[in-house]
Amino acid sequence: MYKLLIVDDEPQILEGMKRILDWKHYGFDYVETCVSTDAAVSRAVQLIPDIAIFDVCIGKNLGYDAIRQLNEVQLPTKYIIMSGYSDFSYAQQAIRCGVKDYLLKPLEKEKLQQVIEKIIVDDLHGSIGDPQTSTAHLDPVMGVPYDSLSKLVNRILLMVREDFNQNITLKSVADRFQMNSTYLGQLFIKETNMKLSEYLMLYRMQRAKELIQTTNEKIHWIACSVGYNNMNYFYTHFHSYYGKSPSDLR
């Protein structure tokens, strides 16, 4: 369904990018690579990729210069820049080209996944996942396929996955989507059988459990990292959900 172009002058990076995500499960039937900006511009005009990922420095050329050339021919492609440099001027130039995100190398799989999902939902008007039974395409809280939910609810779930450690409220979500909070809340309940606040709490609990079982971080740090500044609330919610304390689970 979708086409992806990855551009980097290091072959090993290209191979890694082809494997970092299960692109086919996201609907990418075509994943092509280029090692130069000239080849990338030529191929992009022919392929018209839905998403193109450019390294910021490709040989002696700059990825965002190639993106500027492609913008001139008005391709509908959505662009991502990856870079080993945190130089603000590079990021600034990328933003001016209209890139969707500027990711630092080595790429974090989860961060790239979030960006790709956001582009699919917001820009390509698709949904995440398919009716396959793979857990990668099931919502971790509800256990239902993402494509069984509306695009709007998928956008809300994506927002939770990206910002679960922030102060998310029904009002803040409604404000972002420029919608009435009462209507949005009713729609969310209708599709998920739970309030947004309940979903957020359950998602945070699952992330907390994952961190407790896979890291040696202190419980206080884990609580803060999943959005809890009040430890009493964290312990209460955790015990209510898992029937044991974080320390007992560990």
- Kindly report the CATH number that applies to the domain delimited by 2-123: 3.40.50.2300
Helices (H), the chain: 11-20, 37-47, 63-72, 88-96, 109-118, 151-163, 170-177, 181-192, 196-214, 219-225, 231-242, 246-249
* Chain segment 8-53, per-residue pLDDT in tens: 999 989 988 998 888 988 889 899 999 999 999 999 999 999 999 9
> In the chain, which residues fall in CATH 3.40.50.2300?
2-123
Phi, psi of 84 (to 5 degrees): -90, 5
* Chain segment 106-128, per-residue pLDDT in tens: 888 888 998 999 999 889 888 77
- Kindly report the CATH number that applies to the domain delimited by 131-250: 1.10.10.60
> In the chain, which residues fall in CATH 1.10.10.60?
131-250
pLDDT at residue 116, rounded to an integer: 94
Q: What is the pTM of this model?
A: 0.55
Q: What separation in angstroms does the CA of 247 have from each of 21, 79, 218, 223?
A: 33, 43, 10, 12
Which tokens in the block code for residue 60?
């002696």
Report the distance separating Cα 223 and Cα 39, nearest Å: 48
CB neighbours of residue 180 within 10 Å:
11
Rg of the chain over Cα atoms, rounded to whole angstroms, equals 20
* Chain segment 68-85, per-residue pLDDT in tens: 999 999 999 999 999 887
Report the distance separating Cα 100 and Cα 108, nearest Å: 16
Full DSSP string of 161-185: HHHTTS---HHHHHHHHT--HHHHH
Which tokens in the block code for residue 132?
């396959």
Q: What separation in angstroms does the CA of 56 have from each of 92, 103, 216?
A: 12, 10, 35
